[in-house]
């Protein structure tokens, strides 16, 4: 009765005793892992013999086919070097010289289908592999032996050497039966199959069925009461995506047991994958249509997604002017490259492009670095004086990167220089007139910085004339392939490495990562992979992307509830900083406008460490 109830459940149920021996393995679990042979295939047990006709289809050589390689294929007459991961259809005779045929789709090649048809020893043999729909079919004189797969799969049909009748067919659950192609082609035995064959699993060690050492250990420890199990853990078991829950079972009758509840999520993964693929294809079509309508206005700023094409058009319009431009975007999105692209197309393109990283300049030197200084302006100053970045950029563009890091007392002078196209050197008495186009950039939320008194409101409005926001890489994933194609040759050339390619699995992983560090992080990941890869191909295991959390520089600081005392102190500090900034450093005037006494004012300056 218990067995029949478990068999109607829509979830797989597996239970074991403390020694890891199977107590229950219900019908859904058998279905998920392909344990039972429910096809129309029937054959006796045996092994490959000299002269047998062998047809092999593998979606990715070396993956889920018993670690098969080119050497194994020589046993059916295929004398060709094939790289791991390639899709293969092969036909030949086992350990006998004779005609052989092969079709290969390398990972570096485009395409989603492989097909082969031959009249071979008076049998019409055809094989088809559809990578997009994850389907394999081998046909012998019109009799089809098909298989659907989730990630990768090795499919094989064998005809005996005498009657050329079907001797063996690969089916799901081969891992349980130890019938992978690699094992069979190297002398392994295959089991007898009959229609609707139900394997007797009760009492068997779980490792003989699932071959998952970590999971077997978890089940044993949970059955013995050492661990408490887990809830909702994603796993790949025999290349099958499942969601598992592991729980202990204790009763007065039994010493101990553990139950594993398994939910098949392969269909959900397929739906998500197909949806993502459809969105990617749609975006690709849209981008292609846009490229057909107009030439890429800024090809050096890589990306042809709709968002990037719109951004480039906006930047192109901004480059025609000499008005101040403000570039917004997370770190690593390419603000410097965009600033250079704007300069090269601007009316001042013949002048210099001077880049200043405001965040890297010491606070006590930033004023003299921006505006220069006269002889003897301060201790250690050059006796001849020194021009600042404003003077060096005269007639061209001054790019103020990380402009949000400029301290308040320098912001006053920067605002004056932008408004009047003139400034005074530190220690100078004569104004210096310049013609400079300002492009500023930041990864900060300047509106928020203004609201808490860390950035001057009037300077913000002066900078925020032509506003361009660069989307993070995770919002334009369709550009990732284009970026990889552009960055890889540059990286290989820079580190003096031979050119490399990216495997399909690695490309899929790269296209589905969130990139908190944006394009700069993608470039670093690729450079590491180039150094780690062998045989000129980057594989998934060469991509080191773990342990990085997403960042969001534009999130609000008011998302969390904070103590009122902390909020009041922050507001008080903000108003004091704002008052000092608005009175251009006149503290007596600032304390009057704040309406507080002198002693109280200076106590708060000390309390909040305000030094402006």
pLDDT of amino acid 178: 66
pLDDT of amino acid 274: 63
Cα separation, 465 vs 458, whole angstroms: 12
pLDDT of amino acid 25: 87
Whether the Cβ atoms of residue 66 and residue 86 lie closer than 8 Å to each other: no
Whether the Cβ atoms of residue 301 and residue 312 lie closer than 8 Å to each other: yes
Helix (H) or strand (E) holding 335: helix 335-344
Whether the Cβ atoms of residue 325 and residue 343 lie closer than 8 Å to each other: no
Cα separation, 491 vs 499, whole angstroms: 9
pLDDT along the chain (612 residues), means of 10: 67 88 86 64 84 93 85 92 91 92 85 90 92 88 83 86 88 65 88 68 83 82 89 72 84 74 72 63 62 69 86 90 93 93 94 93 88 78 83 95 92 93 89 94 92 91 93 90 91 90 87 89 92 87 64 39 71 82 80 85 82 62
**Which of 587-590's residues contact partners 24+ apart within 8 Å by CB, and which partners?**
none
Q: Is the pTM of this model over 0.75?
A: no
Cβ-count burial 94-122 (b if 16+ within 10 Å, e if not): bbeeeebbbebbbbeeeeeebebeeebee
Report how far apart the first and last C-alpha atoms of the chain are (Å, whole number).
82
Cα separation, 157 vs 149, whole angstroms: 16
pLDDT of amino acid 108: 74
**Which of 261-268's residues contact partners 24+ apart within 8 Å by CB, and which partners?**
261/11, 261/12, 261/13, 262/11, 262/12, 262/13, 262/14, 262/28, 262/29, 262/32, 263/11, 263/12, 264/12, 264/28, 264/32, 264/240, 265/234, 265/241, 266/150, 266/240, 266/241, 266/242
Q: CA dist 317 to 154, 286, 466, 553, Å?
A: 55, 22, 10, 27
Whether the Cβ atoms of residue 159 and residue 165 lie closer than 8 Å to each other: yes
Question: Which tokens hold the place of 364?
Answer: 């006590």
Angle of CA points 210, 211, 215, to nearest 5° = 75
Residue with tokens 């829509």: 10
pLDDT of amino acid 513: 87
pLDDT of amino acid 324: 94
Question: Which tokens hold the place of 385?
Answer: 């004086």
Whether the Cβ atoms of residue 433 and residue 420 lie closer than 8 Å to each other: no
**CB atoms inside a 10 Å sphere around CB 323:** 10
């Amino acid at each position: 009765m218990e067995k029949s109830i478990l068999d109607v459940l829509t979830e797989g149920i597996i239970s074991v005793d403390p020694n890891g021996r199977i107590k229950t393995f219900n019908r859904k679990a058998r279905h998920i892992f392909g344990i039972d042979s429910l096809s129309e295939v029937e054959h006796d047990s045996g092994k490959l013999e000299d002269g047998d006709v062998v047809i092999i289809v593998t979606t990715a050589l070396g993956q889920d086919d018993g670690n098969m390689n080119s050497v194994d294929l020589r046993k059916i007459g295929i004398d060709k070097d094939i790289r791991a991961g390639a899709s293969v259809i092969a036909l030949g005779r086992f350990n006998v010289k004779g005609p052989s045929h092969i079709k290969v789709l390398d990972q570096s090649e485009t395409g989603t289908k492989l097909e082969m048809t031959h009249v071979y020893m008076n049998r019409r043999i055809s094989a088809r592999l559809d990578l997009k729909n994850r389907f394999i079919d081998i046909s012998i004189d019109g009799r089809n032996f098909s298989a659907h797969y989730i990630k990768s799969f090795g499919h094989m049909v064998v005809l005996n050497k005498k009657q050329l009748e079907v001797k063996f067919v690969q089916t799901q659950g081969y891992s349980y039966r130890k019938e992978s192609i690699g094992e069979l082609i190297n002398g392994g035995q295959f089991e007898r199959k009959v229609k609707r064959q139900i394997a007797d699993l009760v009492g068997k060690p779980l490792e003989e069925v699932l071959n998952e050492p970590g999971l077997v250990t978890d089940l044993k420890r949970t059955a013995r009461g050492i661990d408490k199990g887990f809830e909702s853990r994603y796993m790949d078991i025999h290349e099958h995506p499942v969601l598992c829950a592991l729980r202990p079972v204790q009763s007065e009758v039994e010493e101990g047991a553990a139950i594993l509840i398994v939910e098949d999520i392969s269909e959900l993964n397929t739906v998500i994958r197909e949806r993502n693929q459809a969105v990617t294809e749609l975006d690709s079509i849209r981008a292609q249509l846009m490229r057909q309508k107009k030439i890429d206005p800024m090809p050096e700023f890589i990306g042809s997604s709709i968002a990037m094409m719109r951004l480039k058009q906006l930047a192109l319009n901004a480059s025609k002017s000499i008005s101040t431009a403000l570039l917004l975007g997370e770190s690593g999105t390419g603000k410097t490259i965009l600033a250079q692209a704007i300069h090269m197309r601007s009316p001042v393109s013949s002048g210099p492009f001077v880049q200043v990283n405001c965040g890297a300049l010491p606070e006590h030197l930033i004023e003299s670095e921006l505006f220069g200084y006269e002889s003897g302006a301060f201790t250690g100053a050059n006796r001849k004086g020194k021009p600042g970045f404003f003077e060096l950029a005269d007639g061209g563009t001054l790019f103020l990167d990380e402009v949000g890091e400029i301290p308040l007392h320098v912001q006053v002078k920067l605002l004056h220089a932008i408004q009047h196209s003139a400034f005074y050197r530190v220690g100078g008495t004569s104004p210096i007139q310049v013609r400079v186009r300002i492009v500023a950039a930041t990864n900060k939320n300047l509106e928020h910085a203004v609201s808490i008194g860390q950035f001057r409101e009037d300077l913000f409005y002066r900078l925020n004339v032509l506003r361009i926001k660069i989307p993070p890489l995770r919002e334009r994933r369709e550009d990732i392939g284009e970026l990889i194609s552009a960055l890889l040759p540059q990286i290989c050339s820079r580190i003096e490495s031979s050119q490399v390619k990216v495997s399909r699995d690695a490309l899929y992983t790269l296209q589905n990562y969130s990139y908190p560090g944006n394009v700069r992080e993608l470039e670093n990941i690729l450079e590491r992979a180039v150094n780690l890869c062998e045989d000129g191909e980057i594989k998934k295991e060469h991509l080191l992307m773990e342990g990085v959390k997403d960042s969001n520089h534009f999130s609000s600081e008011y998302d969390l509830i904070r103590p009122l005392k902390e909020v009041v102190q922050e507001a008080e500090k903000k108003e004091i900083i704002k008052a000092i900034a608005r009175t251009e450093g006149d503290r007596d005037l600032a304390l009057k406008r704040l309406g507080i006494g002198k002693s109280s004012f200076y106590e708060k300056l000390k309390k909040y460490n305000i030094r402006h």
